[in-house]
Amino acid sequence: QVHLAESGGGSVQDGGSLRLSCAWSGSSEIRYCVGWLRQAPGKEREGVAIFDTWGDIYYANSVKGRFTVSEDSATNTLYLEMNNLQREDTATYYCAYASDSPCYNSMLRDLSRFGNWGQGTQVTVSF
């Protein structure tokens, strides 16, 4: 069972920046897809940024050019650097893991392949 734990959420003003971290453990797989998903109040969960061990990276159109996903493979830590945050970025952010799977762009919308999730961290953007 893969365990994931997010940190780094908080409140920020419009245009500000935050960096989220996700420490994960419990897997020795060499092939997987990991990434960040979010759920805004009253909305469905959606993919934000995902990448896999094949080097594929996918971003939601709404965050392209503002968010950057990266991983420190030595420590199994996933990061999401978020710049120029907007009110519509307010959401609970989750890191998630898809076992033995490459990422596909469709996985930004179809989240069913992600079998392991963290508890989430809240990001609130205000004027």
pLDDT, one tens digit per residue, over 65-84 is 999 999 998 999 999 999 99
pLDDT score, position 90: 98
Among positive and negative, which fits the CA dihedral 70, 19, 48, 36? positive
Confidence of residue 55 (pLDDT cuts 50, 70, 90): confident
Mean pLDDT across the chain, nearest whole number?
A: 95
Distance CA 89, CA 38 (A): 9
Q: What's the mean pLDDT in 104-120? A: 96
Identity of the residue numbered 3: H
Q: Is residue 93 within 8 Å of 81, Cβ to Cβ?
A: no
pLDDT score, position 30: 86
Q: Is residue 45 within 8 Å of 91, Cβ to Cβ?
A: no
Query: Using only C-alpha atoms, what is the Rg of the chain?
Result: 13
pLDDT > 90? residue 127: no
